[in-house]
Amino acid sequence: MLDTVTLKKDLQRSEKKLKIRAFLLVLPLLVFVCFTFLTPVFSLMFQSVENSEIPTLLPNTVQEIADWSGQEAPSEAVFAALITDLTAAKKQNQIGKLARRINYNLSGARSALKKVARRLDQLTPPYKEKVIKLNKKWGDVKIWRIIQRENSVITSSYYVAAMDMQYNIKTDDVEFKSEDERIYLSLFVKTLLISLAVTLLCLMLGYPVAYLLAELPLKYSNLLMILVLLPFWSSLLVRTTSWIVILQSQGVLNDLFIFFGITEEGDRIRMAYNMTGTIIAMTHILLPFTILPLYSVMKGIPKSYMQAASSLGGRWLYSFVRVYMPQTIPGISAGALLVFILSIGYYITPALIGGQSGQLISNLIAYHIQQSLNWGLGAALSTLLLASILLLYWIYNKMVGIDKLKF
């Protein structure tokens, strides 16, 4: 009995040592993933709610305006607090940062604030009439409502803007913008539809190719597999620009159509710089990501299954649909999920070949991060995109089951 207990304890200690050793081996990779992936993701998500500029640079103004009714321009005390805060911010060279933040919520606020900042040395009490005279926006309640509302270091205004909504000036209630001002929700829907179209096209084109690769003798299938992998050996930028040459109005494809009499010279088909070009180029680029999972699954299906179905009297098409295709569902699921997730965040191809109608939400995120420098809105759009992908992944897991995937 004692020997059995001792043996169990020795076995537990041995297993514990093995687990610690395995964890130490994986630890460098875990640290690398946290540093290069998780940290930037959570940092970007924090940017979508971070609001340090107004409460930090306008502390006195935020305090004085807390009890303001919002019906008319605030009192002299609020204007005096504004001048005090702007003077301190100017000494810290933070006026530009503050002006940019308020301008995110109200167009034209940047020039109004900077104009006052330039005249700080010339302003003397009472300040209210003099500040309003410098710029009429200071007599409007809109800019003051923004300062009063954004008085916390955490804000939801970026998510409100990302969902094509705005705050009502009179009541501060959240409401949708007018139809002609809505941008992001329709672009989210278009991104999902384009990603779905690319995924379906990749499955339609990739399934026969994968089946051919799996059925051919090894020496031929290896040669064709090299052709499938060949696009990975060239730059994504090169492949995208190649499609521009092929699809543009004066491109190779239109010249061939005219040569064979399919179209006339004046009826050249516009296939580049629109949604059509985006779908074609993305389908070509992402097609190998569908073929490879399908091929790996099909290669493992014994040929005897189809032979047995045929010997039992089943026609080829019927046997293929009832016997062969159900066994390829793990490959279909893996290829579809992989292509859909890649396409929903695609950036370079839509940016180069998509034109105005072929842009995806990722292009607008890049615009806010790189050009408008509205990192908060860009981060909010990114977080919503990530949330939508996770939601679709959860729905997929419930309907199909993630355990059926096979890469």
pLDDT tens, position by position, 120-172: 888 888 888 989 988 888 988 889 998 988 888 999 999 999 999 988 877 77
Asked if residue 288 has a cis previous peptide bond (ω within 30° of 0), the answer is: no
pLDDT of res. 208: 93
Give yes or no: residues 126 and 18 share one domain: no
Give yes or no: residues 345 and 302 share one domain: yes
Give yes or no: residues 136 and 73 share one domain: yes
Mean pLDDT of 223-247: 86
Label residues 243-280 b or e (16+ Cβ within 10 Å = b): bbebbbeebebbeeeeeeeeeeeeebeebbbbbbbbbb
Give yes or no: residues 3 and 97 share one domain: no
Residues forming a β-bridge with 206? none
Separation of alpha carbons 360 and 159, rounded Å: 18
pLDDT of res. 1: 54
Give yes or no: residues 294 and 257 share one domain: yes
pLDDT of res. 92: 92
Give yes or no: residues 191 and 121 share one domain: no
Q: How many domains does the chain have?
A: 3
**Domain contains 168:** no
**Domain contains 129:** yes
Domain range for 78: 53-155
Give yes or no: residues 88 and 115 share one domain: yes
**Domain contains 171:** no
SS3 content of the chain, % helix, strand, coil (to 5): 75, 0, 25
Give yes or no: residues 224 and 264 share one domain: yes
**Domain contains 299:** yes
Residue 225 sits in a domain whose CATH number is 1.10.3720.10
Write down which residue in 155, 173, 206 finishes a domain.
155
Say yes or no to pLDDT of 259 above 90: no
Question: Rg of the chain over CA atoms, in angstroms?
Answer: 30
As a whole number, the mean pLDDT across the chain is 87
Give yes or no: residues 7 and 145 share one domain: no
Coil, helix or strand at residue 191 = helix
Give yes or no: residues 363 and 274 share one domain: yes
Give yes or no: residues 248 and 340 share one domain: yes
Write down which residue in 138, 155, 172 finishes a domain.
155
Give yes or no: residues 256 and 384 share one domain: yes
